[in-house]
Amino acid sequence: MRTFSSPGWLQACSAALLRGTLQALLKPVFSPRFSIPFQRRWLRGLAHSTLPARGVRREAAQLGGRPGEWLRARSAAPDAPIAPGAVLYLHGGAYCVGAPATHRALTGRLALATGLPVFALDYRLAPEHPFPAGLDDALAAYRALRAQGPVVLAGDSAGGGLALACALALREAGDAAPAALYLISPWADMRAEAAPARPVPGEAMLSQAWVLDCAAKYLGKTAPEHPWCSPLLADLRGLPPTLIQAGTDEMLHGQALALEAALRAAGVAVRCEVDQARWHVFQLHGGALASADAALARAAAFIAPQMAAARAPVQATHEVVIMGAGMSGLCMAIQLKRAGMHDFVLLEKQTGLGGTWWDNRYPGAHVDVPAPAYAFSFAANPRWTRRFASAPEIHRYMQDLALRHGLLPHLRLGTAVQEAGFDAASGQWALRTDRGDHYRARHFVCSTGPLNQPRWPDIPGLAEFQGERLHSARWDATVPLQGRRVAVIGTGSTASQLVAPIAAQAGQLHVFQRTANWVLPRLDRRYFGIDRLLARLPPYSAAVRWAWVQALEWGRRGFDEGTLARRGMLATAAAHRQRQVADPALRARLTPSYPLGCKRIIYSNDYYPALGRPNTELVTEAIARISARGIVTADGRERPLDVLVCATGFDTQQLLASLQIRGQQGQLLGEVWRASPEAYLGCTVAGFPNLYLMLGPNTATGHTSTLLYIEPQVQHALACMRELRQRGQQWIAVRPEAQRAYNEGLQARLRGSVWTQCHSWYQGADGRVAAIFPGFTAEYQRRVRRPDFSAYQFG
């Protein structure tokens, strides 16, 4: 079981108001004193007061001979692709009340959150139609929908119990199982003794008298122990992955916990999420209650990988295929839609969108530039809670972008591109995925960026280590650290963020440092209500973003010898080290021996203090090998370990090495880049028409936000696509001589620069700097945003 709380006075006020409204207007009517027809009319009237989900298209329909309604995320284009698969939703109401119309606030947001079409079934209700009428309707609708693709069965309260019963009946009949079950406060045990003996404090809807009255109407002559009426009592083996959500302040809280335990005992992959101080089916208050929106977002994150695993391989043709759903992939997709180009698909190898911010979920992960500069110019984020945003906050921002701009129907999660080849005859790219999908597209956008392939340290014995091994980019939060012996290899930007949280838990922490890093204070602070209120004003948010961008550009001057900025940064770093490291010997080992800026600068307020803790050891002796039990240094000493953490970054030289990309003449991009990767403006590669790189070679920065480089690259790609369409030709490719001249100019500027004066991920094995752009951001933006088509050839 996982518990969630909703801190903040505004959340508490909203929750109190909503709870009080339900207790005053709904709970008294949900009573045997009132007729079922009256309860239905009353509920339908109250449903009009809920906030409908914007951006959802509703359509009345029939499925399996029963009426209902489709809810789909709106798209600006009527022929926009819809993600394969669907959700069959069974509403709650104790089998006697409720309808698709009463649950639109929930089902509409579920359609938006998942990107899947949702069919809300209007199944027959008691007392007119007792058991098994509702189950028969659910089975008929499921079978009709399953014939079209994988289906997630979802439902709340009685609908949750009905969804579970439906899954059991399908198993008994030998039918194809649902891809997953999503059960909100499921009523899984209809026996009278299953109801709490005393009223639950805070319960906003249900009463024991009403529940038992409705149970009698639904059951008729059927015993409540029937496994399709009380599925908690059934044999639950063989059911699909299941997510249960409930609140602490409801009658069915105990049933949710009991169902989780029963499913786990039956070998079912199950997770139960319980929100503190929340009532029965609080998810109905999406849009008014942040915890409701958060619960639906978690449900979408659960559903996505299950649906990806269940869907069959596809063959499809689109105008654009985007590989990678990180920041650059989302930006590309958003700008395509804004340009009126809706025929595209986003292929993401992970089971969730986010790219770097999906991969990097280690303790303490956060962005190392101020958050206002880490939002797109067209999508300010007024929800930042700190100046330096955490990884979860950034991930939420990305999810909001995808939701707001209607990207989820275009998204294919759990889908890794393995091969891509350009067909000169058709002027299209042909792509094959690890799932057996085959896509064809006029344009292929590689938005994976340089930080997507984890690099493990090249140390003898790494594979023989018998403890638990973690990489910062593939963090496993289930590995316990409390009181254990932990080692961290690496002291770069990532390590500087995770060392302090690990040191606070570990019994003993060893940090292995090859070279010391330049560390400057992080000018962090909490954002208060007034900050977030002002951030909702576009002129204010734009001004704050501009100011931080200028401040970061001033920091770029610190990489040049003799500048005021450099003198100021050197003095600040020395003062920060002097202030935070009391031990002179430790301070000496933490003093860098290379010029400031040669490696990425660390901004941290807790890294130095963590290294000074009694349970932390900074090890500067070289690592000789890794043994089965720990790490052996060059002096022969072995440090026993339980957990080995590798904060050793990414392979930034072998870009796109995990797949085969063949160009116009059949040449492999990996072979072309064998010596060192290079591209024209970091965006296009000679011999690879209609291919666009996001954050390609020589577009990294050591001083500012990558988003400032992503936006002009997206505009460059869009301009190339438009020009190709206007000329009526099949392909566009950069001229080899233009690419060669551009990179010769870059390397001339980089020779003798600060980035060549030490070894870092900016360089290749031959010392060539293939990652960094040597100039200022404005220079890059001016040159990239509007292509010089004389540098391109068409065919």
Active site residues: 157
Angstrom distance (rounded) from CA 620 to CA 617: 10
CB-side neighbour CA atoms (13 Å) of 227: 12
- The answer to whether the CB of 163 falls within 8 A of the CB of 153 is yes
Angstrom distance (rounded) from CA 497 to CA 519: 12
Strand partners, 316: 439
Angstrom distance (rounded) from CA 413 to CA 324: 9
Angstrom distance (rounded) from CA 56 to CA 293: 15
How wide is the angle at C-alpha 722 spanned by C-alphas 721 and 728, nearest 5°? 95
Pairing mode, strands 315-323 and 344-347 = parallel
Chain CA centroid to CA 305, Å: 12
Alpha-helical segments (H) within 343-409:
356-359, 391-404
Give, for 346, the enclosing helix (H) or strand (E): strand 344-347
How wide is the angle at C-alpha 753 spanned by C-alphas 750 and 756, nearest 5°? 85
Angstrom distance (rounded) from CA 468 to CA 629: 10
Structure tokens at 210: 């009403």
Instruction: Kindly report the length of the chain.
Output: 795
Angstrom distance (rounded) from CA 204 to CA 443: 53
* Amino acid found at 360: N
Within the chain, how many helices (H) and strands (E) appear? 21, 29
Angstrom distance (rounded) from CA 132 to CA 163: 13
- The answer to whether the CB of 163 falls within 8 A of the CB of 184 is no
Q: What are the percentages of helix, strand and coil residues in the chain, rounded to 5?
A: 35, 20, 45
CB-side neighbour CA atoms (13 Å) of 401: 28
Which of 682, 517, 522, 677 has its CA nearest to residue 600? 517
- The answer to whether the CB of 687 falls within 8 A of the CB of 669 is no
Give, for 626, the enclosing helix (H) or strand (E): strand 623-626
Task: List the end-to-end C-alpha distance of the chain, in Å, as a whole number.
Answer: 59
Burial track 288-324 (b if 16+ CB lie within 10 A, e otherwise): bbbbbbbbbbbbbbbbbbbbbebbeebeeebbbbbbb
Strand partners, 182: 154, 243
- Write down the residue that tokens 């690099």 correspond to: 455
Which of 174, 201, 168, 198 has its CA nearest to residue 186? 168
Strand partners, 72: 57
Pairing mode, strands 623-626 and 616-619 = unpaired
CB neighbours of 469 closer than 8 A, spacing ≥ 6?
Answer: 462, 643, 644, 646
In angstroms, the Cα distances linking 765 to 653, 678, 699, 768 are 9, 15, 19, 7
Burial track 335-361 (b if 16+ CB lie within 10 A, e otherwise): bbbeeebbbbbbbbbbbbbbbbbbbbb
Structure tokens at 791: 């540098």
How wide is the angle at C-alpha 174 spanned by C-alphas 173 and 179, nearest 5°? 110
> SS3 sequence, 581-633?
CCCHHHHHHCCCCCCCCCCCCEECCCHHHHHCCCCEEEECCCEEEECCCEEEE
